[in-house]
Chains A and B, each alone.
Chain A
Amino acid sequence: MNLDDFMLRATLAAIGTGLAAAPLGCFVVWRRMAYFGDAVAHAAILGVALSLALSLPVFAGALIVALVMAMAVTMLSGRGYAMDTLLGVMAHSALAFGLVAVSFLANVRIDLMAYLFGDILAVSRGDLGVIWVGAAVVLALVGWRWSALLTATLNPDLARAAGIEPRREQLVLTLALALVVAVAIKVVGVLLITAMLIIPAATARPFSRTPEAMAVIASCLAMLAAWTGLEVSYAADTPTGPTIVCVIAALFCLSTAVAGLRGAFAAGRRQP
């Protein structure tokens, strides 16, 4: 395999990100954490600014700030403000502070678009390593805690009765989410990460009978969209990250339409 080919590196990066994001995205959908994902992703731009200022690897800075953000939201929840208000405050403040912080670094201003929308064609061998190790850790984490996470998602007390501590599972999810954000910055950028989490899961829903099936189908769809989006963006000369998200969105529309037609057909057969 020739990793000198930038298209091959980009393809592998996109597939790795999609593979890690999709199963985790199922939990984000089931637990209604979409806005939470947004807040954590937006905070990562602040992490990018800090790592550029301190000459740290961008991955590390983004991961740390995303984690701090996730912990802060988790701890602040249930203390007077409704969750969506709290997340709205945190998500947009983090983004604004991040953008202001980046503006202080005069020499990197041109790179801002790359972090907001991804710059997958510039993925290096090192980036690829980080992405795949990060993706493997996320998959291992979610796979290891799968049943416990699922039980805690259904009902915290049900989980406790079975000897599972829901707060610990929440922590596992938070950690995995921060990892995915840090991994996906290079691929789709902070503004579109939530799309990689949620849309494949939502697309898989009508064709799934079990949670596991939904995760597997979502992963396949995410990989398909990553590959197709990359090819389309190469052929049509469009920005790659947004193109990948456009492809997933198109798949979602298709899935919703098919599910709707199937429902109408089933209803028609019941009432001839």
Chain B
Amino acid sequence: MSPLIETKGLTVRYGRTIVLDDVDLRIDRDEIVTIVGPNGSGKSTLLRALLGGVRAAGGQILRAPGLRLGYVPQRLSLDPTLPLTVARFLGLPRRVRSGDIHAALEAAGLADVASRQMADLSGGQFQRVLLARAILEDPDLLILDEATAGLDQRGAAAFYRRIEEVRAATGCAVLMVSHDLHVVMSASDRVICLNGHVCCEGTPEVVAEAPVYRALFGEGTQGALALYRHRHDHRHDHDTSHTRAAEAAQ
């Protein structure tokens, strides 16, 4: 099967700094792929390159012909001078029928907020409106950049559950970048660990056990990996917020 999008030896430089070095990435239909990596590892640059906003210093980016992308940015800095209703935002850049707007809002798990101002939404509602807009593009590939950065763990877990539902309903592939390692990895088919180059990739379990991954995210530090393994290796009886979030994610 031909991939939706593929990079071959992608290299990106900012000035003399090499941000991405010889990155091979391939995303097929219907899979959920997560990119993890420390700060400054080039995650956001890679996403921007896939969207076409970064000039590659080497390698190439191949898109399936007619590929439709849905993009959920990390945040939208909405200037207070710009009045914008949810319905108008969802109709950008292409006008959509109001029936489709309501369907997309429903798919994103929002009650009727179509006539509200974007600036009046809560953080969680705002992210879901961004998701609804991406769904309206009828994407083959949904790209999310730290989409849950402003949400608490419960909210993040609910958001990822919503994305799995969207994937199930539309059959689109999903590419995510996230810091919420233990939540986001459990929702993924495949994890790519990035640190300028691809350190390792595979199923969440394989990546979590990989030495390079442990070297990046620490093991004795009780960091995200510890939580992640903790949750998967065995289950505690007492109800911590982490296990609640994890159960919500499953």
Contact = CB atoms under 8 A, between A and B. Distances in A.
Contacts of B73: 155, 157-158
Given A32-B79, A160-B52, A210 B84 contact: yes
Contacts of A164: 93
Nearest to B48: A157
B229 to A, nearest CB: 34
Nearest to B92: A151
Contact of B93 (A147, A202, A211): A147
Interface of A: 29-32, 147-148, 150-151, 153-162, 164, 166, 201-202, 205, 208-214
B166 interface: no
A147 B76 CA distance: 17
A154 B95 CA distance: 16
Contacts of A213: 83
A161 B84 contact: no
23 contacts: A30-B81, A30-B82, A32-B79, A147-B94, A151-B92, A154-B78, A154-B92, A155-B77, A157-B51, A157-B53, A157-B71, A160-B52, A161-B143, A162-B94, A162-B137, A201-B81, A202-B81, A205-B83, A208-B83, A210-B83, A210-B88, A211-B82, A214-B83
Most buried by A among B71, B85, B94: B71
A198 to B, nearest CB: 10
Contacts of B89: 154
Nearest to A201: B81
A211 B83 contact: yes
B137 A161 contact: yes
Summarize B's interface: helix, strand, loop or mixed: loop
Nearest to B77: A155
Interface in B82-135: 82-85, 88-89, 92-95, 117, 134
B79 A150 contact: no
Nearest to A32: B79
B204 interface: no
B224 interface: no
Given A157-B51, A158-B73, A161-B51, A29 B81 contact: yes
Given A151-B92, A164-B93, A158 B76 contact: yes
A218 to B, nearest CB: 11
Interface in B198-219: none
Interface of B: 47-48, 51-53, 69-71, 73, 76-79, 81-85, 88-89, 92-95, 117, 134, 137, 143, 145
Contacts of B53: 156-157, 160, 166
Contacts of A162: 69, 71, 93-94, 137
A159 B93 contact: yes
Nearest to A212: B88
A117 to B, nearest CB: 27
Contacts of A212: 88
Contact of B88 (A148, A160, A211): A211
A169 to B, nearest CB: 10
B85 A210 contact: yes
Contacts of B84: 210-211
A137 B47 CA distance: 37
A66 to B, nearest CB: 24
A158 B81 contact: no
B16 to A, nearest CB: 15
B81 A150 contact: no
B93 A150 contact: yes
Nearest to B130: A158
A210 B134 CA distance: 20
A209 B82 CA distance: 9
A159 B143 CA distance: 13
Contacts of B81: 29-30, 201-202, 205
A191 to B, nearest CB: 23
Nearest to A198: B81
A147 B69 contact: no
A213 B73 CA distance: 26
Contacts of A29: 79, 81
A26 B109 CA distance: 33
Contacts of A147: 92-95
A111 B73 CA distance: 52
Contacts of B95: 147
Contacts of A32: 79
